[in-house]
Structure 1
């Protein structure tokens, strides 16, 4: 099952879209509470994809549990609903799953009808929009993965450090106005006043460089070479290539030394045997 935070966000969005629905305690009345048409039709634009059986169940139970437990947070309610869903029997889940299957079939028909009325230019535009959405989702997933892997934060600029330190006292009623006023103040500052923030930014660069080196070494250890910067990989390859001839030369010298020592030992042994015979 998806993480509860994502699950809660998904249920919240769907719940807002269907806030006018009434809810009942009966599982058997699911199809009447969550009609198929509401999930798959729109007045204009493409039809919406239907939600699965669990989300239908959560939409039905969330208002009920919220009324029964007004002090409980929304996320905690969703967690309770998820536990309840896992303990339900297949017979109890069947109305929600059947409603989902019916909605899927209707969505397929509605989507084919919608696609048929599009012009070639609109189809191309939709394709480009889909690629952009997929690229955005991929970037978000990658950013989340890097955060979970502990990738160091990029160094801050002098202006960024100044604005973060003076944000609370900045002029303005909202974030945008405050940031604009801080940027104006930064531009009007003298060079000697900016020097302290420039030094802090230099220190932050050193911090970032050291932390990135340790992080990339760890990524190599766990087999995540794909996350290492291209410049770092190139530098490592050049260093390895430069060190290879030296290692080969040292190995050859060692082998030569061992060979010489072996010959001397053999010659000495032969001399001893000759002396003994005499």
Structure 2
């Protein structure tokens, strides 16, 4: 059975991100928007939309108020997550009271169904680990842009939302490639969710005699641009996709493995689990693409 993924977009930023995703991704996913405007029509590309019933006062509703509003709509949430749902991804601006208030309610529904739960902030900045909720399986970070210093106060720009949609599409590509991948499937992603709390995703593309070097350089540069050092990386999924004009070689697969191993070693981490898969995409011709998904845990702080 094919894995079924439900992506929830919370608030205006989350819904806009899903709209961008729907414009480019042909994969089978269910896109659901949750906001507070009953009169607003369903956004383009969404399969469903839930309008939270606001408790008075509607203006300036705080986190607790949104949580109570979400509780009133809990039955609607339960109806949209059917028994075949394999993964729930929640997208939103973590600084919004609507997102912070509805997260616990959604998490309760998801946990009751024992469905893996991945959180994807639309902004590059996310709250410190000590303030993050504990009820999600993992958090997908923005490679090259990450800062754990605090939450952004201004609404995210459209370019930021498009970048978030790009990350979501890459995540889907890992376990739902348009051409079936060999040796990587949805169970590998579930294994990663059990091993890590933070996730980084990167993609590189190369052509010509040095295509694997080019692709790996692009991907690892995205990973090395992440400024947060206090993560202990544990696991990785690697997906190499070639075109029909030039199939990938075992040597190229080995180079990808060694590049990931070096990334771990340079950060004082030990690569405990790695899975390499490969696929073919007719549109790539003689090019090679490399997808990297890394999982890590926060390094515990030591008291002085």
- Tell me whether the two structures share a fold, i.e. TM-score over 0.5: no
Structure number with the bigger relative contact order (C-alpha 8 A, sep ≥ 6) is 2
Decide which structure has greater helix share: 1
Decide which structure has greater strand share: 2
Q: TM-score, normalised by structure 2?
A: 0.25
Q: TM-score, normalised by structure 1?
A: 0.26
